Structure 1
Amino acid sequence: MQGSKKIIDLLNKQLTLELTSMDQYLAHSKMYEDWGVSKLHEKLAHEYEEELEHSQKIIERILFLEGTPDTASRESIHVGSDVKQMLENDLAAEKLVAESLRNLISACEVEKDYVTREMLEMLLDDTEMDHIYWLEQHLGLIDKIGLPNYIQSQMGGGSPS
């Protein structure tokens, strides 16, 4: 089904943001693993997988609309030098993804592409309710208990708190 060129172009822009977030999560996850902060490593490895799933959904939609997915482009990733900066950088990246999703959803409404809109609404819900919420919650914990206590709380094995 031939889709709107505007929507395909915007989907490719969104794909670039999702792939960039995926790369940043991978880098941070591996840094946490190297530092022995296993709960954060596990959480960021999970976020990496979710960004991959988001990317796959966008690629599938671009292909359905008879477009060509741009899987090579990336924005600059922002690798932090400490836990707090890494979480802040991830939050900034997720907020950019959410803003782009909202703009793309609006464009889908104008172009009457309701199926793409619905798919993007699910991605936005996951981005806001899972990724952004979790990052804001953990940055709030750092403010409440201090960075050393926070890092210590994230060192044990098991699922991330």
Structure 2
Amino acid sequence: MANENIIKGLQLIVTDLAQQADGHAIQSKIFGSQGFSKLADKYAEHATEERGYVDQCIDRILDLGGDVKNEAKKEAPTYTDPVEWLKYDLQVSIDGLNSLKTLIECAKDDLTTFDILKDYYKDEEEDMYWAQQQLELIEKIGLQNWLIHQI
């Protein structure tokens, strides 16, 4: 039963994180087209990292004897406004970390899965802090100054 719950949780990550990686790749292109090369690079790198975690979760599902599914993904928004994107992406991180805590607790006796999830949690937490920091910077130095730093 524990493996079944872990496999379901890992599958949820595969489905949702693949969607998130695609979203970050799209946002990278949008920001790049606007001349915000630093934001474009940040989100292209982020998409690559997320795909790495998707691969690890797929491998772990297979190791546990589960079947990996290519599930339908819900539509996610894209943004041309970097600030609105940061707010959206920050909320995705907050929500994802809350869900991930439950799965990590479920996997505490499966050390291999636990390590994968722990590493993913730390990466997602770092992304959450980065988005918070950027929004705070915008408040302190102003949007135009912040945007100049993203070129």
TM-score scaled by length of structure 2 = 0.91
Identity of aligned residues (%): 31
Cα RMSD after superposing both structures: 1.7
Alignment correspondent of 1:159: none
Q: Is the 8 A contact 1:23 1:77 kept in 2?
A: no
Once the two structures are TM-superposed, the CA of residue 97 in structure 1 deviates from its matched residue by 2.1
Letter in 2 for 1:116: T
Determine if the alignment matches structure 1 residue 106 to structure 2 residue 105.
yes
Letter in 2 for 1:46: E
Provide the rounded CA distance (Å) in 1 between the counterparts of 2:104 and 2:19: 20
Per-residue CA deviation, residues 119-139 of structure 1 (Å, 9 max, x unaligned), is: 10111011112x111111111
Once the two structures are TM-superposed, the CA of residue 95 in structure 1 deviates from its matched residue by 1.8
Q: Is the 8 A contact 1:37 1:154 kept in 2?
A: yes
Provide the rounded CA distance (Å) in 2 between the counterparts of 1:145 and 1:47: 25
Q: Is the 8 A contact 1:21 1:90 kept in 2?
A: no
Provide the rounded CA distance (Å) in 1 between the counterparts of 2:63 and 2:72: 20
Counterparts of residues 118-157 of structure 1 (less than 5 Å): 118-129=115-126, 131-155=127-151
For structure 2, the 5+ residue unaligned runs are none
Larger mean CA deviation between 46-55 and 93-102 belongs to: 93-102
4+ residue segments displaced more than 3 Å? none
